Chains A and B, each alone.
Chain A
Amino acid sequence: MIPGITISKSTLYVVIFWSNAPISSKNISWKLPATHRGKVAEHTDETFYRSLYRIRRVEEEIVRLYPSDRIKSPVHLSIGQESVSVGVCAALSTNDIVFGTYRGHALYLAKGGDLNSMMAELFGKRDGSARGKAGSMHLIDLGAGMMGTSAIVATTIPHAVGYALAIQMRRENRIVAVFFGDGASDEGVFHESMNFAALKKLPILFVCENNGYAIYSPVSDRMPADNFCERAESYRIPSTRVQSGKTTEIRDAAAHAAVAIRKGNGPQFLECLTARWRDHVGPDEDRIWNYRPDSELDDWIARDDVAATASRIDQARRSAIEAEVEREIADAIAFAEASPYPAMEELNEHVFR
């Protein structure tokens, strides 16, 4: 012990690290602040349907509004991919943290991001999640554990790892999930981040949303392997591949992984196959660019998990859920319309804090 230093929490951390003792949240008990004691909510077909339907309908409304030019923002829609965000977030609590990408509407909503703020942000209005400064590509809602998304592919992967490192250092009982595409998995930073996370046994779930394409470039044109799990395995990160696109299967895989992560066993990797039904960016149908076989998309559309989940719910309940969601969306659009544009002075605000 160095004389003259009183033990504060932070010096204690230093001592723990210096002592070279194995660090695992399992063998160190730390009293967590109340806000960090999250509980994972129970889910049923009805709660899944509400979430899936809500995301689908929000984005369909964006498609409807887009030609009016009120949304002057690139929009990368998740229509067809909703089950990944909904399934994984079902295994997380509010206090768990998610990092995502510019294709972030589904994740933002699934994690509990505020719909009014999102809609106002897309409209470039003052009540948006970033006061209109960010648009669709940089949604954020810290209250819901939704970290800001980035438009530079793969950049948030190491941030998620760093957040997980902080959680480990502070002995907090929560985890991070980071969502990224198949394209992001090409980047060097993805590999460097996975290696570090595995090395430090960090509490993080990697979620590769494999929709088969980076813009119009198929996975098979970008790598010789046919799956991403083997990349994770090469860093000794246990991995699971969910091919069906079913919310329940994704939730089960994520929940299983989350249990292991919460035990302090280090990172887990989830590859979820999915399909984007719309163009890479913008509201158009994806088919207009003729770069993929129609049958491929038809097959995914036939297995649409929003419709499949709906079919498992009693008709009256389903109508009630849909009516509630429609009201909420209409209100959010009205909220965005009514919100003013930011004042000119705001241009110079927030450069520094």
Chain B
Amino acid sequence: MSSADRELTYSEALHEAVRQEMSRNSDVFVFGLGVDDAKGMYGTTAGLHEEFGTERNFDTPLAEDAMTGVAIGAALAGMRPIHVHQRMDFLLLCMNQLINIAAKASYMYAGACHVPIVVRGIIGRSWGQGAQHSQALHSFFMHVPGIKVVAPTTPHDAKGCLIAAIRDDNPVIFMEHRMLYGNRGVVPENDYEVPFGQARILTSGNDVTIVGVSHMIVECLRAAHVLREAGVSAEVIDPVSLAPLDIDTIAASARKTKHLLVVDTSWTTCGTGSEILAQLVESLGEEGIPKMKRMGYAPTPCPTTRPLEDIYYPSGQTIAEAAHALVRGRDWTAPQIEAREISEFRGPF
């Protein structure tokens, strides 16, 4: 295999990104609960303390609020901390520091200081993660000026976005999904940045535009596959970064296909889908408005029991059916599409 088509998993790609940035810049350090333990945060921080020293990859007390403030303080002093959270749900304990300080420091002090921190939040799913270990809170952050939100789905973008996030002078919420970690894809060996604010067209099509967020992209690609067999050609778009959001790419596609389905890795109300639809309406003007629909988690906390959990999430099948209804205006039963990262996932956590 030539180095041009070297494949890595999503987690290996993150690991490589952080290693390269730590080598390049001694101001970069990683900290958070469990980052230096035997599991190494799904391998993404494995061995960093051995390679770069325990000062630069360290465990902390359970103190998310204070540790977020510590990251901000270190960033104010010129460091580039990466604060890792095993579940995005724990970011709720960090909200005051992130929203009231990190997002506002540059503005409040008119650029006199800035807060270059990366906050990695991993979204859980399956094996009874339940109400408190499966939440994706990106829309909370998208609401707030001064903070960037990225949600890469491919190993290539995972690496490039993490490097870009570390180099960014602003606070960046870096969203990961544990169902993405096993994904393999081509990842260049050099250090490179994937710029924020540029969406990626993953498959091109003419009948419907499907925008997916994070893990839902995988389900959207499955949906596109069965839709093609049913004669519906779907254009699947990965926004990659949610704030800033590349509405132009989405709008151009929706103008072409005249149908837009947004599938979020979260609830729909006040979510990414709502934002995309609103921005689209504003940018296209009345006559250009496509037929639109949002999908996301059921409007409930996440149940743990498998039969209810299965219907809580959109699936390749339900996405395909929704897209079909949007385009053809009639019901159709899509074939069931196995999501192996979910069906084969076993605990114990």
Contacts and interface: CB of A to CB of B under 8 A. Distances in A.
A282 B305 CA distance: 17
Range of interface residues on A (Cβ < 8 Å): 35 or more
B34 A216 contact: yes
Contact of A124 (B66, B89, B304): B304
A124 B305 contact: yes
Interface string B329-349: 000000000000000001111
A345 B207 CA distance: 33
B253 to A, nearest CB: 32
Contact of B130 (A134, A282, A289): A134
B256 interface: no
Contact of A72 (B34, B90, B306): B306
Interface string B115-143: 00000000000011111110000000000
Interface in B280-333: 298-301, 303-308, 311-312
A217 B33 contact: yes
Contacts of B60: 222
Contacts of B64: 187
Contacts, number: 130
A291 interface: yes
A188 B66 contact: yes
B348 A344 contact: no
Interface in B143-184: none
A256 B155 CA distance: 58
A138 B301 CA distance: 13
Interface in A110-152: 124-125, 128, 132-138, 150-152
B307 A344 contact: yes
Given A124-B305, A150-B132, A344-B308, A351 B348 contact: no
Contacts of A342: 305, 307-308
A184 B62 contact: yes
A341 B301 CA distance: 18
B37 A133 contact: no
Nearest to A218: B59
B304 A135 contact: yes
A187 B305 contact: no
Contact of B128 (A72, A290, A348): A72
A137 B303 contact: no
B99 to A, nearest CB: 17
A151 B62 contact: no
B63 interface: yes
B307 A186 contact: no
A75 interface: yes
Interface string B91-124: 0110000000000000000000000000000000
Nearest to B299: A351
A153 B132 contact: no
Given A74-B347, A217-B37, A186 B61 contact: yes
Contacts of B90: 152
B230 interface: no
B65 interface: yes
Chain A CB within 10 Å — which of B37, B64, B305 has the most? Answer: B305
Q: Which 4 A-B pairs have the closest CB atoms?
A: A282-B348, A124-B305, A132-B305, A73-B128
Given A215-B33, A281-B349, A290-B38, 5 more contacts: A74-B128, A134-B131, A136-B128, A151-B132, A281-B348
Interface of A: 66, 69, 72-75, 124-125, 128, 132-138, 150-154, 183-184, 186-188, 214-217, 221-223, 279, 281-284, 289-291, 341-342, 344, 346-348, 351
24 contacts: A72-B128, A72-B304, A73-B304, A74-B347, A74-B348, A74-B349, A132-B303, A132-B304, A133-B308, A135-B128, A135-B130, A138-B131, A184-B62, A186-B63, A187-B62, A214-B33, A215-B34, A216-B37, A223-B61, A282-B348, A291-B37, A342-B308, A347-B308, A351-B299
